[in-house]
A and B are shown apart, each in its own frame.
Chain A
Amino acid sequence: MKAVITVIGKDAVGILAKVSAICAENNANVIEVTQSVLQDMFAMIMLVDITAISSDFVELQDSLTALGDSLGLKIHTMHEDIFNTMHRI
């Protein structure tokens, strides 16, 4: 089972590190990361394996959302199925 974490907002130092730290705390393995900074807008998409996470998926979501709120970023953590279903036949 995989989840997609998207982080969108104003660029700052240490975003990737903070998000990755929460993933590590919850034993969510980061599989792939793409990120880009356009002007000063930061957009990062992270694919993580949540098969063996140590907490509940909802807890992981909540802690990432809370991190986003504290940094003034929008962080969405969604099951990859919604993207696969919508964009692949």
Chain B
Amino acid sequence: MLNVYDILETIRMIQDECLDIRTITMGISLMDCIDSDIDRACEKVYGKITRCAKDLVRTGEGIEKEYGIPIINKRLSVTPISIVSAACDAEPVKFALTMERAAKECGVNLIGGYSALVQKGFSAGDERLIRSIPEALASTTCVCSSVNVGSTKTGINMDAVKLMGGIVRQAAELTVKEQCFGAAKLVVFCNAVDDNPFMAGAFHGVGEPDCIINVGVSGPGVVRAALEKYPDADINELADIIKKTAYKITRVGQLVGVRASEKLGVPFGIVDLSLAPTPAVGDSVAYILEEMGLEKCGCAGTTACLAMLNDAVKKGGVMACSRIGGLSGAFIPVSEDAGMIAAAESGSLLIEKLEAMTAVCSVGLDMIVIPGDTPAEVISGIIADEAAIGMVNSKTTAVRVIPAVGYNEGDVLDWGGLFGKGPVMKVNRFSPSKFIGRGGQIPAPLHSLKN
């Protein structure tokens, strides 16, 4: 018989400590939907998505009931649309509208893949797709977009970095009435991964199978609660506690992924071993760092705590599942984490500190509200810095900043739900415009030559 203590522990994790499966994301290849006629291509895209994902939400809800674990999001990711739209000589926004329609039909809350991969240069269709992103995001509600501008293997495409600064601004400008929400659905990556189940950066990579299920787990609240029981433990002990907790969290992800894959008849891809926070109190990565002994997230010592946390999460999760992928690590989205919001509002957490934290966490500068008058070249500079950290450290980094057009420093943008709310944070006003204006490619680092 199962141990009573174990049963109650599981129930407490779910009931009181916000343990959940953050997302089941179905990746769908649209390679077979390519057509030179955009209307025909869109029809095929709609048909394929709704055919593959028709049972996704119902199946997810069934598994939720069966195991008593909440599965917060059911989502879709598709082949980067720049590839699908390359053959059409038409505005690709139609694809975004089609994705929106298909997502609504399937009942999922977000669909990712209005994306382009331009780390080494623009191929046919890439630039046109990128320029259409602001309009695509403004005319849809659940379509998410991402652009990969660099990688350790290729270096950083500075022409794309320059372009993206303006695109991020426009995405915010076109959605001023929705508190600049467009920019919250757009991620600029370095070393983007093909099997990421998390939004807004999910897309279905070109080397992936036709259709696949990826799972993203969560559980910052569980880790914090576990650490709370050992107020005087040394760091080795803390790392061990995190590993054990991460193991348990990840096991549930594996169980749900395998079950979903069986029920849907779709292969199981990966578990993304992540600590993904939500704005709910008690579901915060910042509070874990503070539990380790920081007065406020962002103070000296934050990067070291985060590095330890990130590493322990991976070590604990590795043995718990058959295949690991996605972004895997601790996320630090400011607006989606109650502790980060509080730290930013108190002035303890600054963008410069967040940048340092991105060198040791799962992704990058995420969900950060910046002043609405931040020039495009400053945003490009932020993207370039972040991409450089990713390129040199062989890790995924990303920038998802939201220029608060029409708001002032100290104001708060509030989108509600999982996206949360964020105060406008200070940005260095000196200009990198000469550097950004040069264009070209930052060469790949020496350690990219592995062969």
A61 touching B3 in the complex, CB below 8 Å, given contacts A82-B252, A82-B255, A85-B252: no
- B2 (CB) vs chain A CBs: closest residue: A83
User: In the complex, which residues of chain A have a beta carbon less than 8 angstroms from the beta carbon of B6?
Assistant: 83, 86-87
Any chain B CB within 8 A of the CB of A79? Answer: yes
Q: Name the contact of A45 in the complex, choosing from B4, B69, B251 (C-beta under 8 A).
A: B4
Any chain B CB within 8 A of the CB of A40? Answer: no
Stretch of B60-68, B167-175, B195-203 lying at the A interface: B60-68
The reply to whether A82 and B248 contact each other, CB–CB distance below 8 Å, is no
Interface of chain B, main secondary structure: helix
User: How far apart are A41's CB and chain B's nearest CB, in angstroms?
Assistant: 12
Chain A, 32-55, contact with B by CB distance < 8 Å: what is the 0/1 string? 101000000001010100000000
Query: CA of A76 to CA of B6 in the docked complex: distance in angstroms?
Result: 14
Query: CA of A83 to CA of B252 in the docked complex: distance in angstroms?
Result: 9
Chain B, 55-75, contact with A by CB distance < 8 Å: what is the 0/1 string? 000000010011111000000
| Size band of the interface chain B makes with A | 20 to 34
Query: CA of A43 to CA of B254 in the docked complex: distance in angstroms?
Result: 29
The reply to whether B67 and A86 contact each other, CB–CB distance below 8 Å, is no
Any chain A CB within 8 A of the CB of B10? Answer: yes
A78 touching B255 in the complex, CB below 8 Å, given contacts A34-B4, A87-B6, A87-B248: no
Query: CA of A66 to CA of B35 in the docked complex: distance in angstroms?
Result: 53
A82 touching B69 in the complex, CB below 8 Å, given contacts A6-B11, A32-B1, A87-B6: yes
- A62 (CB) vs chain B CBs: closest residue: B65
User: How far apart are B347's CB and chain A's nearest CB, in angstroms?
Assistant: 40
User: How far apart are A82's CB and chain B's nearest CB, in angstroms?
Assistant: 4
Q: Name the contact of A47 in the complex, choosing from B2, B68, B254, B319 (C-beta under 8 A).
A: B2
Query: CA of A74 to CA of B16 in the docked complex: distance in angstroms?
Result: 13
Q: Name the contact of B252 in the complex, choosing from A74, A80, A86 (C-beta under 8 A).
A: A86
Any chain B CB within 8 A of the CB of A23? Answer: no
User: How far apart are A76's CB and chain B's nearest CB, in angstroms?
Assistant: 6
User: In the complex, which residues of chain A have a beta carbon less than 8 angstroms from the beta carbon of B9?
Assistant: 87
Q: Name the contact of B10 in the complex, choosing from A32, A74, A83 (C-beta under 8 A).
A: A83
The reply to whether B7 and A45 contact each other, CB–CB distance below 8 Å, is yes
Any chain B CB within 8 A of the CB of A28? Answer: no
Query: CA of A6 to CA of B7 in the docked complex: distance in angstroms?
Result: 8
User: In the complex, which residues of chain A have a beta carbon less than 8 angstroms from the beta carbon of B69?
Assistant: 82
Any chain A CB within 8 A of the CB of B8? Answer: yes
User: How far apart are B2's CB and chain A's nearest CB, in angstroms?
Assistant: 5
A85 touching B4 in the complex, CB below 8 Å, given contacts A76-B68, A77-B68: no
CB-contacts of B9-61 with A (<8 A) = 9-11, 15
User: In the complex, which residues of chain A have a beta carbon less than 8 angstroms from the beta carbon of B7?
Assistant: 4, 6, 45, 83
Any chain B CB within 8 A of the CB of A25? Answer: no
- B5 (CB) vs chain A CBs: closest residue: A87
Chain A, 57-89, contact with B by CB distance < 8 Å: what is the 0/1 string? 110010000000000001011111111111101
User: In the complex, which residues of chain B have a beta carbon less than 8 angstroms from the beta carbon of A8?
Assistant: 11
The reply to whether A81 and B67 contact each other, CB–CB distance below 8 Å, is yes
User: In the complex, which residues of chain B have a beta carbon less than 8 angstroms from the beta carbon of A34?
Assistant: 1, 4
